[in-house]
């Protein structure tokens, strides 16, 4: 059993991580801006307030936990783009105040920086909408930042190009920096199976200090 503090616990991806962690017997603190948005009740669930952009809030939320998971985002607007890299910096700054060993950090990342078979990156594809490109590059900036951090045990987990609510099959594949595609050539994962991969990484750390991706 691990103790997990989870930012973004009411979000699309974060809520799946919350439920996957609870069903597998972990103790979770959901760290949210509005506790009313957490409607789940469970004996192993605690709800607290916190702001991922405030390192003191991050430190307070993470204290006493084995792992800090960040599934923060913010829709299609500029707030989303503006949050991603500053959140990464705030998460690291907050954890650094907790000494050694601080809780491990697992951050939901983006697919944009993954390599494609032609040697380009996902964000090089033609015709991507501007707002999506900005989000992809914000995640790329956050990943560059994490890769410069030697003193916090971080892991960034990039979903496949498409991640949507769906079935929990319990099956998925992983790669480091290469985009995963299924037999039909589609890069996809359900939020439920992505959450399985996140909790698998919590239970059996294999990617401390690196990014990996999850797809079918
Ligand atoms: N294929 C891909 O690469 C891909 C696809 C989808 C998503 N993603 C990434 O995955 C992440 C999560 O996406 P999602 O769809 O689950 O997002 P979401 O449903 O919009 O949820 C975002 C969560 O972040 C929380 N949040 C935002 N700012 C915060 C702050 N300052 N302090 C604390 N919590 C804050 C929100 O809380 P409130 O409810 O209070 O606003 C919400 O719980 C995003 O970073 C997104 O870019 C990647």
Question: Domain with 31 in it: what CATH number?
Answer: 3.40.50.720
| Per-residue confidence (pLDDT) for residue 202, from 0 to 100 | 98
Strands (E), 8-121: 27-32, 45-49, 67-70, 104-108
| Per-residue confidence (pLDDT) for residue 81, from 0 to 100 | 83
What percent of the chain has a predicted confidence (pLDDT) above 90? 94
| Per-residue confidence (pLDDT) for residue 184, from 0 to 100 | 93
The answer to whether the CB of 167 falls within 8 A of the CB of 206 is: no
Could you tell me if the CB of 83 is within 6 A of ligand 1?
A: yes
| Per-residue confidence (pLDDT) for residue 79, from 0 to 100 | 78
Element (H, E) at 155: strand 154-159
Could you tell me if the CB of 10 is within 6 A of ligand 1?
A: yes
Angle at 168 between CA 66 and CA 131, to 5 degrees: 80
| Per-residue confidence (pLDDT) for residue 171, from 0 to 100 | 98
| Per-residue confidence (pLDDT) for residue 36, from 0 to 100 | 97
| Per-residue confidence (pLDDT) for residue 100, from 0 to 100 | 83
| Per-residue confidence (pLDDT) for residue 76, from 0 to 100 | 65
Report residues of the chain scoring pLDDT below 50.
none
| Per-residue confidence (pLDDT) for residue 82, from 0 to 100 | 86
Closest Cα to atom 41 of ligand 1:
74
Could you tell me if the CB of 91 is within 6 A of ligand 1?
A: no
Domain range for 116 is 3-215
Gap between the Cα atoms of 125 and 78, Å rounded = 21
| Per-residue confidence (pLDDT) for residue 80, from 0 to 100 | 80
Ligand 1, residue 9: give the atom nearest the CA. Answer: 43
| Dist. CA 2 → ligand 1 center (Å) | 23
Could you tell me if the CB of 74 is within 6 A of ligand 1?
A: yes
User: What domain count does the chain have?
Assistant: 1
| Dist. CA 12 → ligand 1 center (Å) | 7
């Amino acid at each position: 059993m691990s103790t997990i503090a989870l930012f973004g616990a009411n979000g699309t991806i974060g809520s799946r991580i919350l439920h996957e962690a609870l069903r597998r017997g972990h103790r979770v603190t959901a760290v949210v801006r509005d506790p009313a948005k957490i409607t789940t009740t469970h004996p192993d669930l605690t709800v607290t307030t916190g702001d991922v952009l405030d390192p003191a809030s991050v430190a307070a939320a993470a204290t006493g936990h084995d792992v800090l998971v960040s599934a923060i985002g913010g829709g299609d607007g500029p707030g989303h783009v503006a949050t991603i890299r500053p959140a990464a910096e705030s998460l690291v700054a907050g954890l650094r105040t907790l000494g050694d060993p601080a809780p491990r950090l697992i951050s939901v990342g983006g697919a944009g920086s993954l390599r494609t078979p032609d040697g380009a990156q996902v964000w090089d594809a033609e015709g991507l909408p501007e707002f999506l490109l900005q989000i992809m590059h914000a995640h790329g900036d956050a990943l560059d930042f994490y890769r410069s951090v030697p003193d916090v045990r971080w892991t960034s987990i990039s979903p496949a190009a498409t991640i949507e609510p769906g079935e929990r099959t319990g099956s998925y594949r992983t790669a480091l920096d290469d985009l995963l595609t299924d037999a039909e050539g589609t890069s996809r994962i359900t939020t439920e199976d992505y959450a399985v991969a996140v909790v698998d990484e919590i239970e059996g750390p294999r990617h401390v200090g690196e990014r990996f991706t999850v797809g079918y």
